[in-house]
A and B are shown apart, each in its own frame.
Chain A
Amino acid sequence: MLRTMENQALENQVATLQIKTGFAEMFKGGVIMDVVSPEQARIAQAAGATAVMALERVPADIRRDGGVARMSDPQMIKGILAAVSIPVMAKVRIGHFVEAQILQALGVDFIDESEVLTPADEAFHIDKQAFKVPYVCGAKNLGEALRRIGEGAAMIRTKGEAGTGNVVEAVRHARTILGEIRAIASKPLEELMTVARDLQAPYELVLYIHKHGKLPVVNMAAGGIATPADAALMMQLGLDGVFVGSGIFKSDNPEKRARAIVKAVTHYNNPDILAEVSEDLGEPMVGINLDTLELKERLATRGW
């Protein structure tokens, strides 16, 4: 297993796990916003986004248009890289390591191996340790999160249900993951191998959870967050930061809503400020009730 992380003691190393996970720490308490153009990227940066996610269509449009959703056109990503000074993330299809190689060559700062795009591989996710660029992956439960971390993900986010403007699935996934972490933390050591078997998760990572009571990487909220209150809810539940996809640029007043969500994530425990920033934001994105979505329309079921 010849990895870049071999021989940690050597000087001036790049792309070590510590550099990747350390970079992920810098996004905590912040908002990462989906953008489809350099113009939107500038609006997001001006509103206080910690990073932008460059993609061709926001999840709500992917849902509406159907068809195969793929990595974005490199020209569009280059335009966004040139437009802002904040980090730029971009999505690849689950298992599509060549799309990932292309994004790394473009100089993208973070790759999202995302269920929002149409999966390219139904059995295997990307070997993320093989890349210099760090990865974020979605998860519905702790087993899934630990498998992704085992593959080399430097950041985990809830899957939620992207493009719905409905926070219920993100809450479900956050409560599931955090609840499973709390359960492991309180178990005796001898039960942990069985826990690892049941979760289908690497044993060493289960041990880490037991010892530290948290994931070894940053744990973000994503999938259906549309209002400042949604964002603060996810923070109060115990997540580290927020991804907002369709919620901003599918709303009436993207600039104002983006600024409000940024403030809500910083001041998530201050109801006075939350009340103030929630005021007069115009119409949020319309949203979809999950019980009207058929199982095959649910993006969170992609990946294992």
Chain B
Amino acid sequence: MLRLVQEIWIYNPLEPSNLSNEKRITNHESQTPLEVKTMKKLSQTQSIPSKTIGVLALQGAFREHRHILERLGVGVREVRLPADLEGISGLIIPGGESTTMAKLMMDYQLKQPIRDFAAHGGAIWGTCAGAILLAKDIENQVDAHISTASDQPRLELMHTRVRRNAFGRQVDSFQASLEIVGMDQPFKAIFIRAPVFLEVGDAVQVLSRVGDQIVLAREGKLLASSFHPELTGDPRVHQYFLDMTLEP
């Protein structure tokens, strides 16, 4: 019983012990002292800090992303309608059910505004279902009954071809220690009915693999992970994304 409780505690993103990343935050501040200072000043007088990351909140694990971003000191806005995109400097598309999110994205006319956001240099990160929505291409699954596989609405932004549920059903979900390009220490990653990137375009940088399967990739200001950094409390991929939003 004790072990069970400890495990539950481990994954809780609110747990301060999971977010002992003060050093990285300090580094981040020293790189952009002016902007951070301005943000702090503003946040004392206004309710919205000048740097705000949007989290698509149509469905799924958006709250976990929110918690980690808030620990890193950035403002967060939940995005459900096109107007919510106004003024954000980055957008995270969370894990959840990609067919549900795709449907709500189309029903509430979010596709084009998100594409416009990317076209104007906005950074976007998709985790799991979010990575599927970012892809140009979704593999048409062998089972012909699955009509939603290839014609599923998506953002078609990133030059990737994804396979959904690439490792199998829920009983095949797993956790693994990942080597990620640019990170000294391995990253504990949780794969839940996870997709993989079967093919990537020339401009896509592969940042991590499981075996020979691509699970983390970047193209310009687009980032896609087939695992869930929002569930483990380790903020390094979130920090990486925040740094991306600051790039010109």
The smallest beta-carbon distance between B56 and chain A, in angstroms, is 10
Q: Kindly state whether residue A17 has any CB partner on chain B within 8 Å.
A: yes
- A184: shortest Cβ distance to chain B, in Å? 15
Which secondary structure dominates chain B's binding surface?
mixed
Asked if B149 contacts A85 (CB within 8 A), the reply is: yes
A48 and B104 in contact, given A18-B190, A29-B60 (Cβ under 8 angstroms): yes
Asked if A87 and B62 sit within 8 Å, CB to CB, the answer is no
Interface size, B (range): 35 or more
- B171 contacts partner chain A, Cβ-Cβ < 8 Å: yes
Residues on B with C-beta less than 8 A from A265 are 59
Of the stretches A199-207, A222-230, A290-298, the one at the interface is: A199-207
Question: Of A3, A28, A107, A204, which is within 8 A of B96 by CB?
Answer: A28
In the complex the two chains form, is B104's CB within 8 Å of A85's CB?
no
Q: Give the chain B neighbours of A11 by CB distance below 8 A.
A: 176-177
Contact between B59 and A266 (Cβ–Cβ < 8 Å)? yes
CB of A263 closer than 8 Å to a CB of B: yes
Smallest beta-carbon distance A46→chain B, Å: 7
- Taking CB atoms and an 8 Å cut-off, the chain B residues in 128-175 that contact chain A are 128-129, 141, 143, 145-149, 164-165, 169-175
Q: How many residues belonging to A are interface residues under a CB distance threshold of 8 Å?
A: 60
Q: Does B95 contact A (CB under 8 A)?
A: yes
The answer on a CB contact under 8 Å between A85 and B64 is no
Cross-chain contact of A49 among B63, B100, B175 (Cβ < 8 A): B100
Residues of B191-231 at the interface with A, using a CB-CB cut-off of 8 Å, are 192-193, 228, 231
Q: A22-B192, A25-B61 are in contact. Are A86 and B97 (CB under 8 A)?
A: yes
Is B34 engaged at the interface, CB distance under 8 Å to the other chain? no
Give the chain B neighbours of A13 by CB distance below 8 A. 174-175
Contact present for B176 and A23 (CB under 8 Å): no
Say yes or no: A28 contacts B1, CB within 8 Å. Answer: no
Residue of B nearest to A133 (CB): B171
In the docked arrangement, what's the CA distance between A247 and B170, Å?
27
> A23 touching B170 by the CB < 8 A rule?
yes
Closest 6 CB pairs of A and B: A109-B170, A204-B5, A50-B97, A216-B8, A48-B103, A29-B59
